[in-house]
Every structure is written in structure tokens, then in C-alpha cells.
Amino acid sequence: MKHPYVGLPDRQFWKKEPGIQDAYLLDPVGPVTMTLTRQDRIVTAGSCFAQHVARFLSQSGYNHYIAERAHPIVPARVAQTHNYGLFSARYGNIYTARQLKQLLQRAYGEFDPCEISWQSPHGEGVVDPFRPQIQPGGFLGESELLADRSHHFSCIREALENMDVFIFTLGLTEAWVDRRDGAVFPIAPGIAGGQYDPGTVAFQNFDEEETWEDLRFSLEFLRWINPCLKIILTVSPVPLNATYENRHVLVSTAWSKAVLRIVAEKAMRAFDDCVYFPSYELITSPHVMGQYYENDRREVREAGVSHVMALFMAHFTEGGGCSSRVPPEPVAVDSHLAEMERKIEVLCDEAAITNE
Amino acid sequence: MSGSILIVGHSHIRCLMEAWNKRAGYEGEYDVEFVDLIWLERQEKLAGRQVGDAVKRRVRNPSPNYICQCVNGNFHNVLGIVENPVPFSVGEENYGSAPVGNGRWFIPSSVMMDVFQARFERACKAIESVFAAFPESTRLYLNPPPPVADWEHIKAYPGVFSDNIHLGPAPNDLKIRLYELQTAYFENVARVQAASFIRAAPETLTSDGFLRADYYNADPTHGNMRYGQVMLEEIFKNAQKFRRLTRVSESLT
């Protein structure tokens, strides 16, 4: 019998998927048209699942390009606490395509939101409304925030202009928007700073057309800055923590992920050198029977991240499946600081007094 | 005798001790005893929490009326005595950064505070253990002297920094900002330890908060004996304040 499915690859048939028998063999990644080298500068951004991708790349010997580093005098654990190295710059989680678009515009001076700062939730100082949780302790005031933001934007520009690969994880469609100028905040005011005023901010749930326009703009903007850029899109498998829509959070999650998945597909078809990596499908698939989710049924377990990243490595890297982790780089002690500390000790030793 | 004072600390208590040893007119007022932690830590390898017991074993008077600590305190100089090979600025409330302007690696003040906290973790345990070892003593904490702004003085007395002088001076705005942050750190430690915090006396400061030239020691970071005299007086004044308060409180009860 002749029909159109004759001769198609096994991956296109549900029952031929080895992952049915053994979930660990599930591999939904399609043909990949790009290969990443260890030299490629990879910039990561997106929702909280993007943090896993960034961390794994950093630990795997790939060049997770960190443009916004802590100064060498800052110890590694302090830098980590203040979210240096989490992503390529300290932009924190970028949940929506609109947020990505506006970040690019802000970094290049094309959009200057009227909301500059939010009062810190602790009462003292301020936080950045566009990354309110980036720095425990916040900023002393708007002047300091603006000084840091200026440095932050210069690091973003450096990252975007020098990157070879951009991996963006689409996370949400729901957002809170400033009614005055359309600026999108990553979380509603009042949660991690600022005050909720319905007269100033409005809830918005971006549909597939709005999300597509925002993503298209962002990717065109990036290609304008960096024409040879390779783009990898993913959709976060992490469900919504909360929805403002008057319906069950699971229903909102399904709607939101559907929008994001459609938009990622559209982007893949519209842009050259732009691929979709199915981390969402892998984690949520019936094959793994929910075992990649933590007990809260929301956070992704390390086993899930490892499966996702093993497939990422297998399909996107030169080693093709060589996903072995390399030990983290030894923490470099700032040599100038160490030398100065030694000398101060000697100086103070010289000044020592004995009480005998 | 107005009471007994135990002064515990690192190199910044040297000027106090010099002043005490060459004292004139202090007799009969206070009985002052010093414990130099550099010397003590050279005798014994001590974890931060063991310092208090070690100090107690060494002192002549195990129950002083007052205990004053001045621990470490030169880290602001480690960071800012000369320009860092990777020049940086630190967040500041009014102008955004110190120094103002681009071209330097910006470090937000809360990050810098955590740098101080990480650096002083052991010192903080030592301070706590020393205060705890003298539970009956009234607690005082002496802030170290501010930085020296005069690059000519630093060049004239570079000491161990002679081969770092080529880096040039760190900007004064940065030096004073680092000192402010370190001061804020120790002030908070003192508050947590219920210790009265003693700042450098106004007469020892320039209008912009640096150490006045009259109080420079023949090295780039410490106060001289004259500074020690002034600050010893400050310690006595604070002790007296407590005595008066104690008397008032006793008379009220």
C-alpha cells in the first residue's frame, strides 16, 4: 500500500520512540543545523529554566560568555549571591518576549521607562523595577541604581555585540505593564519592591500575535547588531507559579506554553540559523511520567536538567554526546588583593607591640 | 582610680599603647592594659571563637570595668591605598559612585559591604568571643583611623608598598568611601555586641574626613602617638559617660 507516511523517519512515529520503553532514551530533538564549539561565545537569557542551561554550559567547558562579572576583589560566593555569572549580564530572569524587546531597547538607549526605581521591600533604599531581585540589599538610592544600570547596559551591549550564539528560554506570557509608557516589569510591583497601584500598572497576558511581534523584533534587533548570530530558542517547562487570569493556574500554564511554543516555531521558520530545542517537550512528556518534576510538581529536578542538557550536548556540540562535566575553574584569587593583604599584614606585624 | 580598661586589637592599638607608655597626667585615672592580637596570634594558632579565652589567659586583670576592641581595620587600605590594577568605583548615595564618572569597574555598595563581611568573618567571631570572655565589662569599640590622603606622605613612607607605588594613588573619593563602608560594617558589629562605637575624634580629621597630617605615623596607614593620645582620651571620655550613666541609674534605683 502506498501512503504519504511510508519511508518517513522513525522519530515521526510515536510507537517507534525508544523512550516509551526507557524514558532515558527519549530524544525528541529534530535535525540540528548548527554546531557549537567550545570557542563560541554563548549568551543565555530567559526565564528561570534558562538558569539551568546557563549553569550547565558553564560547568561543561563551553564558553558561557559572562560580560558582566564581579570585580576581581569580590569573592566568588559574594559574586554568586549578587547574581553575577547567573546569566551573561545581571538582567535576572527575562520572562516575556516583551521584556526581552524592551531590555534591548533600553540597553541601546531607544527606550527610557519613566519608572526608575521601586522602594526596597525592606524599607531602606531602592530596587531596580526591571530586575528587583538582582541584588540582595538593593541600592542606596536612585543615583547608585543608575550608576549600576549604566554599567549593566554597557555589559549587555558588550555581550550582544561579541556573542556567537544566543540561547533564549521563553517563559511566560503574563506580565505587569506600566500604563504610562508600556514598560513591562518582570514581577508585579509590591512583591519584591514598589507598591501595587492599579492606576499605574495593568495586567497583560500577551497572546501569540503580540508575543511573536516582540520576539521577531528582538531577533531582528540582535541580527542587526550581530548578523552572524546563531539563535537557539527553548520554552521553559516550569509551570506558572501564579496566574492573574480568573482560571486555574494549570489552564493558564497550558495556554501560556502553547503561545510560546507557537511563537518559537514561527521564529524558527522565519529566521535562518534559528533552531528550537525541545526542552519543554522532554520534561513534560508522558514518557517520563512526571518524574522530572520536584514534589511541588513545578521545579525541574536535576535528573531532568541532565537529560535535557545531555541531548543538547549530543545534538549541538562538536563532541556529539560528550556531556561530561568539567570541574569548575579554580576560584582565582585576585593577585593584587592577595599581595596587598600580605603586605598589610607585614606592615601591621612590623607595627606589632608585645605585652611581655 | 576611675576604673580599669582592657584594650584589645591589632596594629591600630599601637599608637594608644605608645601614648599610654609615655603618658603624663593619666596616673590615678585609669588602669589600662593592652593585649596585642598580632602578638597573641603569633603565639597561638587561634580560631576566631578561641580568641576571647586566649586573651583572658594573658591579662593581668581578668575583670576590667571596660573593654575596648579595635580589631583588624586596615582592609580599606588594602583596597584603596594604591590604585587597583583594575580600577574600580563603589556605589554611593548622592552621586551614584565614588569616584564619579565612567571608565572604572562599578561595584554596588551592597556588594562591597558583603566583601567586607566576607573578609571580616573571622574578625567578627574574634570580637564576639573577646567581649564574651569579659561579660561584666562595659563594651567599647574603637574605629581605626581614616585613610591618609596625602600621596606624598605615602610615597615618603611606602614601607612594604614601595613596589606598588608605581600604580599611583587610588582616587580620594574612593578611599574615603571604602573607609565609610568599613566603618559602617564595624559600627554594626558594635551595635550587635552592644558596644559603644568610638569614631576618630573630629580634631584628627581633615574637612573631607581624612587623617590630618599632624597625626600621620611614619608609615602609610597608621596614626602616630599623638593620634593615640587623642583617641585614648576619647576612650576615657566614653568610659566616663558610662560611669555617669551608671551612677544616675544606681541613684534612680
- How far is A324 from A336, CA to CA, in rounded Å? 34
Does residue B180 sit at the A interface (CB-CB below 8 Å)?
no
CB-facing half-sphere around the CA of B147: CA atoms within 13 A: 29
Residue B189 to residue B48: CA distance in whole angstroms: 15
| Report for A183-187, A325-329, B102-106, B246-250: range of highest mean pLDDT | A183-187
Task: For residue A347, give the nearest of B89, B105, B219 by CB distance.
Answer: B219
Q: Which residues in chain B have Cβ-Cβ distances shorter than 8 Å to A346?
A: 160
Query: Which residue from A139, A141, A352 is facing B11, i.e. has the nearest CB?
Result: A352
Cβ-nearest to B109 among A140, A336, A351: A140
Q: What is the pLDDT of residue A322?
A: 46
Helices B14-21 and B225-252: crossing angle, nearest 10°? 90
DSSP A272: T
Domains delineated in chain B: 3-252 (3.40.50.1110)
Q: Provide the 10 A C-beta neighbour count for residue B47.
A: 10
How many angstroms separate the CA atoms of B140 and B68, rounded? 4
Task: Tell me the per-residue pLDDT of A155-187, one tens digit each, with 9 for 90 and over.
Answer: 999 999 999 999 999 999 999 999 999 999 999
A 87-146: CB under 8 A from B: 135-141, 143-144, 146
Q: Does B76 touch chain A (CB under 8 A)?
A: no
For residue A245, with 0-12 CB atoms within 10 Å meaning exposed, 13-18 middle and 19 or more buried, which class applies?
A: middle
CA A128 to chain centre: 18
The CA-based diameter of chain A, rounded to the nearest angstrom, is 104
Residue ranges per structural domain of chain A: 34-350
The predicted-structure confidence for B110-140, as pLDDT tens digits, reads as follows 999 999 999 999 999 999 999 999 999 999 9
Report ipTM for this prediction: 0.90
C-alpha cell at position A300: 525541574
> Which residues in chain A (45-74) have CB-CB distances under 8 A to chain B?
70-74
Tell me if chain A has a CB within 8 Å of the CB of B202.
Answer: no
Residue B99 pLDDT > 70? yes
In angstroms, what separates the C-alpha of A22 from chain B's closest C-alpha? 47
Question: Chain B residues with CB inside 8 Å of A344's CB?
Answer: 74-75, 77-78, 160, 221
Residue B216: pLDDT over 50: yes
Give the closest residue to B111 by CA, choosing from B124, B97, B125: B97
- Sign of the C-alpha dihedral computed for residues B6, B10, B13 and B18 taken in this order: positive
* Stretch B19-28: mean pLDDT: 75
**Segment holding B14, helix H or strand E:** helix B14-21
**Spans of chain A, pLDDT less than 50:** 321-331, 352-356
Q: Is B110 on the interface with A (CB under 8 A)?
A: yes
pLDDT at res. A163: 97
**Of the candidates B191, B23, B182, which has an alpha carbon nearest to the alpha carbon of residue B114?**
B182
Query: Which residue, chain included where needed, has cell 602616630?
Result: B224
Assign B182 a pLDDT band (cuts: 50, 70, 90): very high
Q: Can you give the pLDDT at residue A326?
A: 45
Output the nine-digit C-alpha cell for A349. Answer: 606585624
pLDDT at A58: 83
Rounded to two decimals, the pTM is 0.89
What does the radius of gyration of chain A's CA atoms come to, in whole angstroms?
23
pLDDT for the residue A131: 97
Q: How far apart (Å, rounded) are the C-alpha atoms in residues B149 and B137? A: 36
CA nearest neighbour of B51 among B68, B31, B66, B36 = B36
Q: At A178, which amino acid appears?
A: D
Nearest to A214 by CA among A107, A93, A97, A113: A97
Contacts of B105 in chain A (CB under 8 A): 71, 151
Average pLDDT, chain A: 91
Specify the pLDDT at position A348: 59
Q: Which pLDDT score, from 0 to 100, does residue B248 have?
A: 60
Contact of A113 with A178, CB cutoff 8 Å: yes
Average pLDDT over residues B38-56: 84
CB B231 within 8 A of CB B23: no
Between CA B211 and CA B202 the distance in angstroms is 10
State the pairing for strand pair A42-46/B96-98. unpaired
